[in-house]
Structure 1
Amino acid sequence: MKRLITAGLMFGNLIEISSPALVERYNRALKHLTGKTTALSDFHIDISGYSPEIGDEFGDDHYLNPNGCNRQFILLTTAQKTAPLLNIKFSTSRGILRQFIEANEAQLFALTARDAVAGELANSVYEVSTPARLFDIRKITIEADTIGSHVRDARKLGSLIDRFRNEPDGWRDDLLIADMIGLAKKTGDITRVPIALPVMNFEQANFWTSHFGGFYIFRDVAFPGVITTLPKAGLGALPVSPLMDLRQRNEIADWLARNNLVEPVVQARGLDAGALLRQKMDFILVDAADALNLELGQATRADLRKIAQRLGSALPQEFLGLAALLRWVEGGGEWPRITSEHPAYFYTLRARGHRDRDLVNMLLAELAPLDVRQMYIVHKELFYATYATWSDRKRGYVADFLEREYKVDKAGARATLFGPEPGMDDAAPPPDTVAPVGPWGSIRRGAR
């Protein structure tokens, strides 16, 4: 992982905390939430205030998320909104935190100028001992305050001011006035500079969770479904069906098509399909060459063509399927019929532009694991776990590629590959009469 960290591909965009004042505020918040403090004088934090250095110090990467389903957070600066979220348990958590910060940015800017803000992504579930418990998670609530309780005191001061104004003898109530003065010393003049952090609620209908090896839960679609990364046997009864695992390629393809969640990359508007297919083929060749212990050279396209020639009939089916599609794109071949049983099938798809676009692309990254660029962009947890299993040769190629081709323009690369960012209100399009047969023709339904 050191290569990724050096290249800024892991732990990138974290917020550095090095001033004694901020370290002291963080420790106050940490003591308040966990009962612990750090001895470090400088460290880095993510959007939730989690620090990998402090996690290493404590020997606990989940010190702000001990139960795995109610993540606590510490805000020292509104700049945290651009930081990543590490050790993700739910795919929605970073988006919820960012929305909370952006919706209350002015208030948080004023509050973090004097103290740390702490809170929790709370739901009614406090443990997930069985997969069925995941389906009880439907709403996430955020309620936050400074460690010095400035928001609570401002709310209390506001009610005292109302009493002072509305009670006939309020101006003669010395105890009331003394309480107001005492609170105002902490909060300042809230009549001119109001202090408030509203309780915010967020629906969690469709999401991915790392619990139980990985679950994709879709409840707010035309045809609900659940997809598990591990074999589905032994998971017990679940309130949403069908339950599929990644080995059920036909069933997943059929379900995606019926919900109109994906589109062929060759039909995506504004996408250079030829360039995208060539890059996917390069990734597949690198993996095949690495598996056979072949030297990659400089891994230029010319080097990879030589590897393809050496492999000959041993070329992976994923490569051959994409090559046939590329020939059609460039006008030199027939339209290929790539069924859901073909290893190349999920490499030919991307999510449509709806509010769950990133979640669907996460799922496609699991179904098309040789496309390392897509995996890195949309599913970093999977990418880091997979990266650890590669040879040093492949690690070097992938890290160099991502640093050279993706890091220089992350937003541009995402827009090019996946289209413009969808709005939160962009629901999945309704099923149509074409989608159920799949993008390449009828989906073959093998043994289930």
Structure 2
Amino acid sequence: MKRLIQHGLMFGNLVEISSPALIERYNRALKHLTGKTTQLTDFHIDISGYSPEIGDELGNDIYLNPNGCNRQFILLTTAQKAAPLLNAKFSTSRGILRQFYEANEAQLFALTARDAVAGELANSVYEMNTPARLLDIRRITIEADTIGGHVADAAKLGQLIDRFRSTPDGWRNDLLIAEMIGLAKRTGDVTRVPISLPAMGFEQPNFWTSHFGGLYVFRTVKAPAVISVGPVQDLGEMPVGQVMDLSMRNMVADWLERNGLVEPIVKARGMDSAAVLRQKMDFILVDAAEALELDLGNATRTDLRKIAHRLGAALPDEFKGLARLLSWVEGGGDWPRITSEHPAYFYTLRSRPHADRDLVNMLLSQLAPLDVRQMFITHKELFYASYATWSDRKRGYVADFLAREYQVDKAGARAALFGPEPGMDEAERPEPKPSPTMVDLVGPWGALRKRS
């Protein structure tokens, strides 16, 4: 993984902690949450305060998430809001933390100036012994305070002030006044600078989780479903309308289309579909070159074309299907019929613009695993697990490509591949309702021909 780290493709944007004062605060929070401390004099933390160096020191990569479903967090600085979330168990966790930080940024800035803030992404499920328990997770609540209890003290001081003001002889109550003074020494003047960090709740209707081998849960679409990475028979009874696994390609494709979640990339508005298809084909050739044990180095598209000529009839079906589609896009071929049974099918799709766009693109990356760029952008956990199994040749090519083509303009690359970020009006709609086209009426790969 050193190559990824050097290119900033792994552990990138983590926040460095080297100040003795911040390390002391972190240790107080860590002791409070886990009963442990670190001896490190510098380390890096993610948006939740998790440190890979401390995880290595403790021999525990989930020391802030021991039960896997109620992640704890330590906030030392509001700069953490831009950091990634490592070892994510749920796809929604980073977004929830970021929303909490942004909604309370002024208060958190003031609180972290004096102490570390600690909290938990809590739900009503504390253990998951069966996959069905995942369906009980519907709302995540965040409650947080400094390790010194400044928020709780401020709330108590506010109550005492109200009591003092409402009691006619309050100024004679020495015990009440002494308690107010003692709390004010820790909180400051809460009448002028209020301290408040209310509990916040976040809905979690649709999400991915790494539990039970990986599951995608969709509950707010027209036809609710659970899609499993592993065999569906391993899940047992699930309280949802439809249960599938990734091997059920026809069922998954039909479900995606019925719920209006995907669109063919050749139909996507404002997308250079020819360029995207060529890049997907390049990645497929890189994987095919693995079988030939070819040295990729900084292989250009011309070099990869030579590999394609060498493979000839042995070219992967994914490559052949995308090549036919590219020929149609460029006006030199017939409309190809690529059904959901074809290995190239899911490479030809992307999510439509809606609130769960990133989740659907994440699912598509598992159904089209040779497109390593989409996998890296939408499903980091799967990318890192896959990267560990590749040869050094493929690792070098992919890392160099991502550093060269993606890192320099992340926002531009995401917009080119997946379109602009969904607006509020799109996020609020339960499902997208684009104007129907002939492709919609007959399915993405019906018997259509491109008109000259």
TM class by shorter chain equals over 0.9
Match of 2:445 in 1: 440
Q: Does 1:225 align with 2:216?
A: no
Question: Against the structure 1 CA distance between its residues 437 and 216, is the aligned structure 2 distance closer, same or farther, given a 3 Å change threshold?
Answer: farther
May I ask how many residue pairs the two structures share in their alignment? 442
Residues 356-378 of structure 1: per-residue CA shift (max 9 Å, x gap): 00000010000000000000000
Contact 1:254 1:438 in 2 (8 A): no
The corresponding residue for 2:150 is: 150
- SS of residue in 2 equivalent to 1:353: coil
Aligned to 1:429: 432
Question: Does the CA-based 8 Å contact 1:257-1:437 persist in structure 2?
Answer: no
Give the SS at the match of 1:120: strand
In the alignment, is the contact (CA less than 8 A) between 1:222 and 1:430 conserved in 2? no
SS in 2 for 1:119: strand
Of 45-54 and 290-299, deviating more is 290-299
Q: Do 1:260 and 1:432's aligned partners in 2 also have CA atoms closer than 8 Å?
A: no
**TM-score, normalising length from structure 1?**
0.97
The answer for the alignment partner of 1:2 in structure 2 is: 2
Cα drift, residue 435 of structure 1: 4.4
SS state of the match for residue 61, structure 1?
coil
Cα RMSD for the two superposed structures: 1.3
CA shift, 1:330, in A, is 1.0
1:245 CA drift (Å): 0.5
- The offset of 1:436, in angstroms, is 7.3
Q: Distance in 2 between matches of 1:417 and 1:2?
A: 27
The aligned counterpart of 1:337 is 337
Alpha-carbon spacing, 1:354–1:183, altered in 2? closer, same or farther (3 Å):
same
Query: Per the alignment, do residues 436 and 100 of structure 1 end up closer, same or farther by CA in structure 2, a change over 3 Å counting?
Result: farther
Q: What is the Cα deviation at residue 298 of structure 1?
A: 3.2
In the TM superposition, 1:147-296 aligns within 5 A as 147-296=147-296
Identity of aligned residues (%): 79
Q: What is the CA distance between 1:176 and its match in structure 2?
A: 1.2
The aligned residue for residue 394 of structure 1 is 394
Equivalent residue, structure 2, for 1:53: 53
8 Å Cα contact 1:260/1:435 also seen in 2: no
The answer (yes or no) to whether the contact 1:258–1:435 under 8 Å persists in 2 is: no
Amino acid at match of 1:176: L
Note closer, same or farther for the CA distance 1:203–1:435 as it changes in structure 2 (3 Å cut): farther
Question: 1:294: Cα distance to partner?
Answer: 2.6
Paired with 2:291 and 2:319, the residues of 1 have a C-alpha distance of 15
AA at the equivalent of 1:306: K
Contact residue 77 and residue 109 of structure 1 kept, 8 A: yes
Alignment partner, residue 445 of structure 1: none
Superposed, 1:80-119 pairs within 5 Å as 80-119=80-119
C-alpha separation in 2, matches of 1:413 and 1:385 = 23
Q: Deviations over 1:370-391 (max 9, x none)?
A: 0000000000000000001111
Alignment partners' CA distance in 2, 1:115 and 1:373: 40
Q: How does 1:5-20 map to 2 (within 5 A)?
A: 5-20=5-20
Q: Please give the alpha-carbon distance, in whole angstroms, between the structure 2 residues aligned to 1:285 and 1:393.
A: 13
Deviation at 1:430, TM superposition (A): 4.8
AA in 1 matched with 2:4: L
Deviation at 1:412, TM superposition (A): 1.4
- What stretches of structure 2 of length at least 5 have no aligned partner? 448-452
Q: Is the 8 A contact 1:117 1:147 kept in 2?
A: yes
Aligned to 2:450: none
Structure 1 runs of 4+ off > 2 angstroms? 294-298, 423-428, 430-438
Q: Which residue of 1 aligns with 2:364?
A: 364
Distance 1:233 1:432 in 2: 38
Pairwise mapping of residues 373-412 of structure 1 onto structure 2 (< 5 A)?
A: 373-412=373-412
Q: Determine the C-alpha separation between the residues in 2 that align with 1:438 and 1:20.
A: 61
Aligned 8 A contact 1:283 1:372 in 2: yes
1: distance between equivalents of 2:268 and 2:316? 25
Q: Does the Cα contact within 8 Å between 2:297 and 2:393 map onto a contact in 1?
A: no
Equivalent position SS for 2:126: coil
| TM-score (normalizing by structure 2) | 0.96
CA gap of 1:297–1:9, structure 2 versus 1, over 3 A, is: closer
Q: Distance in 2 between matches of 1:103 and 1:234?
A: 40
Q: Which moved more, 1:333-342 or 1:391-400?
A: 333-342
Q: Distance in 1 between matches of 2:38 and 2:406?
A: 35
Tell me the CA shift for residue 177 of structure 1. 1.1
Tell which deviates more after alignment, 117-126 or 295-304.
295-304
| Equivalent pair of 1:215/1:227 in contact (CA under 8 Å) | yes
Question: What CA deviation, in whole Å up to 9, does each residue of 1:16-73 have, x standing for no partner?
Answer: 0000000000000000000000000100000000000000000000000000000000
In structure 2, the residue corresponding to 1:266 is in which secondary structure?
coil
TM-fit CA distance, 1:297: 5.2
Q: How does 1:306-325 map to 2 (within 5 A)?
A: 306-325=306-325
